Structure 1
Amino acid sequence: FADHDTRERFVDSVQALTLEWENIPVELCQWLEQRRPLRPSSAVLRTLQDRLTQKQFLSSCSIPVPDFAEVQSVHQLHHAIKRLGLPLICKTAKSGYDGKGQWLIRQPSEIPQFEQILSTPSFGVRWIAEQVVTFVRELSVLVVRSGNGETRVYPVVENRHEQGILRDSVAPASISSGDAEAACELSVRAVAELQGVGIFCIELFQAQDGRLLINEIAPRPHNSGHYTLDACTVSQFEQQVRVTCGLPLGEVRLLSPAVMVNLLGDEVTVMMSGEGGRETFSTPGASVHLYGKRVIRPGRKMGHVTFTAPEREIAVASAQQFLSRVQNSPSAVPSPS
């Protein structure tokens, strides 16, 4: 990232730039956008790549988020616990994904372990503490926004996680039309407040009392949007190319209900071997996407399978049967606990 000659060669080879990962140095993005169009901008990246800064920004715009507090010392931790209560989830402000960089404090006996982390000078990491939300479901919305403020919004998706890793996504979500409209409006507002240009995934909690809270915003295509490759007129990836190149935004239309299932770790081997592969490829509406990763690790996303069907219930049933098959196979390796 810091080598000047590499930067120059790279920028000479492109006409426009975008992001596929939010942990790029902001300084590099500032340097790049002085030479080529970068969407989203370095200013948007600076806000979103730091969870604490992101939550502070959204809160300042009166956009609902889970209650949170900055934690950089034992004193701040105790203050956060007093104000937010337990259980409390502590996350690194930067980096971390798929459950990594998170520490859940369920009860007082678990506080000293995290105090030790905060008291280690060499650790040097900022943390954000968040109140654990009792939610009915986890949702996400893809928002595409052009340089002139034009937007496209994909259907609200319902997500299910296992051990912090996205397991599957169902489109459309099983929520009322009013809740779907509210989720879309909140997501569009958040991206507009950022003055974001690009494609964004807004992850939300629907709390037990009906409130919608923004958990996190990713300034890029998202795992929960992979279903758009098979179930929409224009995928999230094509939209990213369009908005990056200043082309007209594409139509957003769901062609059929869909369920996207991640292939985690050795599940890809189970799915592709013998009868497992034959059953998958013979399932109506099943589309297999393999990522070509050479190293298999427990919990690593190795690909995904999208199931489309005329009715949501049929797609869900096909996905559940597939998951049961790959998870219960004798050769399957359990995900990390």
Structure 2
Amino acid sequence: MSGVILPGPLAGGGRPATLGVLGGGQLGRMFVHAAQAMGFQAAVLDPDPASPAGRVADVHVATAYDDEQGLAQLMQRCEAVTTEFENVPAQVLASLAAHRPVAPGAAAVAVAQDRRAEKAHFAASARSSGIGPAPHAVIEAEADLARVPESLLPGILKTARLGYDGKGQRRVTRRDELAVAWAELGRVPCVLERQLALRDELSVIVARGADGAMVALPVQRNLHRHGILAVTEVFDGLLPARLAQQALAATQAIAAELGYVGVLCVEFFVVDDGSADGALVVNEMAPRPHNSGHYSIDACDVSQFELQVRALAGLPLVAPRAHSAAVMLNLLGDLWWRDGEPVTPDWAGVLALPGVHLHLYGKLDARPGRKMGHLTVTAADGHEARRVALQAAARLGLAPWR
């Protein structure tokens, strides 16, 4: 991928350059908004005619991701293409890349699609960063169950492909439970990870250009509930400086090892190793903007979605500057239901609080566990951001956190 795609009308009075995105969810929607704000047009390919991104894009190609006519239409209209989620078939990205710049590339997305390849890549990048994955074993056949070392139990069994937001996972404590769990998951290839004593969860978001230039958002601390991100906090003094620096260096090493172009998020566990700060273990990566980086829209001078646009278009990458402390709350479809009856969340009460920014994704059906929006609280310092965020959570009926 090379060259620069400039925003605004083309020479001779033609249409503005168009950037394409595979996927019509909230990440695609926020990419579209960022692209349009910078003077580009945006095209979305997604099979859902009511997809959140498709409804705000300049062009919506409503076909399956592997539909040849749909892909041809997207390619003909766009100067470059990205993706909003990692489960777009990698071969589709490779096919598009034969004709248009595509970022991230098919090879990087293929690694993120398979936990086996992902773990191997983390282990390779650990040679330079010193931060590797949790102890694990690959299970592809019945015979592999007997070869699992006792040291990996208790553990978490995860499908090698398509697991997301806690799906495709089973906790196991004994070898007989492992066999049952593997059967329940359909005897598909899996990775068994040793269960670790966790202190914290972090994520790092970087953007890398085709020239190797790399910038990063501040390191984020995350809280998950039932496998889904619930809270992200970003402010000075939140994390030990040593851990933040190590997490950033490890993410940069992972991106460089992949030859990555675009926005990449890497998630880490902080495990209890007896030291004051704990130790880092790399968990997984997402080859796209990430839920934990949504706060950047309101708390930074360059958001993760503007970085995605810049990296795709070959424009200069500038280091984002956080101008506010921030706490982000994920808003799931559960908020729209109480005792089995539909309700309207108390938006007026929440928006009466200082520094509150509400983002709803335009999804027409609120279902439990479905990401419907997020709420970012910005303030001059972390104490105030957390204080107001806890008030907002109480008004919405969300559980508090430490």
* TM-score with structure 1 setting the length: 0.90
1:99 and 2:169 are equivalent in the alignment: no
1:161 is matched with 224
Q: How does 1:223-238 map to 2 (within 5 A)?
A: 223-238=291-306
Q: Is the alpha carbon distance of 1:317 and 1:268 closer, same or farther for their aligned partners in structure 2, counting shifts above 3 Å?
A: farther
Q: CA 1:316–1:328 in 2, change beyond 3 Å: closer, same or farther?
A: closer
C-alpha contact 1:74 1:115 (8 A) present in aligned 2: no
Q: Which moved more, 1:292-301 or 1:102-111?
A: 102-111
In the alignment, which of 113, 117, 123 is matched to residue 49 of structure 1?
113
User: Structure 2 matches for 1:133-282, cutoff 5 A?
Assistant: 133-172=196-235, 174-209=238-273, 210-268=278-336, 273=344, 276-282=346-352
2:180 is equivalent to residue 116 of structure 1: no
Q: Take 1:231 and 1:2, find their aligned partners in 2: how far apart are those partners?
A: 37
Shift of 1:124: 5.9
Residue 263 of structure 1 and its aligned partner are, at CA, apart by: 0.7
Which residue in 2 is equivalent to 1:332? none
Q: Deviations over 1:158-191 (max 9, x none)?
A: 0000010100100037212222112111111111
The answer on 1:307 being equivalent to 2:377 is: yes
Corresponding residue for residue 58 of structure 2: none
Measure the CA separation in 1 of the matches of 2:257 and 2:176: 41
Shift of 1:7: 1.9
For structure 2, the residue ranges without an aligned partner over 5 or more in a row are 1-64
Equivalent of 2:145 in 77, 95, 103: 77
Tell me how many residue pairs correspond in the alignment: 323
C-alpha separation between the residues in 2 aligned to 1:115 and 1:124? Answer: 5
The letter of the residue matching 2:90 is: V
Letter in 2 for 1:104: R
Measure, in 2, the Cα distance between the counterparts of 1:84 and 1:94.
Answer: 24
| Identity rate, percent | 38
1:46 is aligned with what amino acid? A
- How far does the alpha carbon of each residue in 1:29-57 deviate from its partner, in whole angstroms, 9 at most, with x for none? 11100000011111111112111111012
Residue 25 of structure 1: CA displacement?
Answer: 0.9
Aligned counterparts of 1:230 and 1:220: Cα–Cα separation in 2: 19
Alignment partner, residue 15 of structure 2: none
RMSD between superposed Cα atoms in Å: 2.1
Q: Aligned equivalents of 1:227 and 1:177: distance in 2?
A: 21
Q: Is the alpha carbon distance of 1:261 and 1:272 closer, same or farther for their aligned partners in structure 2, counting shifts above 3 Å? A: farther
3-state DSSP class of the match of 1:279? helix
Paired residues of 1:68 and 1:84 also in contact (CA < 8 A) = no
**Equivalence for 1:293:** 363
Give the C-alpha shift of residue 108 in structure 1. 5.2
**Partner Cα distance (1:64, 1:253) in 2:** 28
1:3: which partner in 2?
67
Q: Hey, what's the Cα distance between the residues in 1 that align with 2:335 and 2:363?
A: 13
Q: 1:310 to 1:133 in 2, by over 3 A?
A: same
- C-alpha contact (below 8 Å) 2:325/2:379 kept by paired residues: yes
Q: Given that residues 301 and 320 in structure 2 are in contact (C-alpha distance below 8 angstroms), is that contact kept between their aligned partners in structure 1?
A: yes
Does the C-alpha gap of structure 1 residues 107 and 265 become closer, same or farther in structure 2, counting only changes over 3 Å? farther
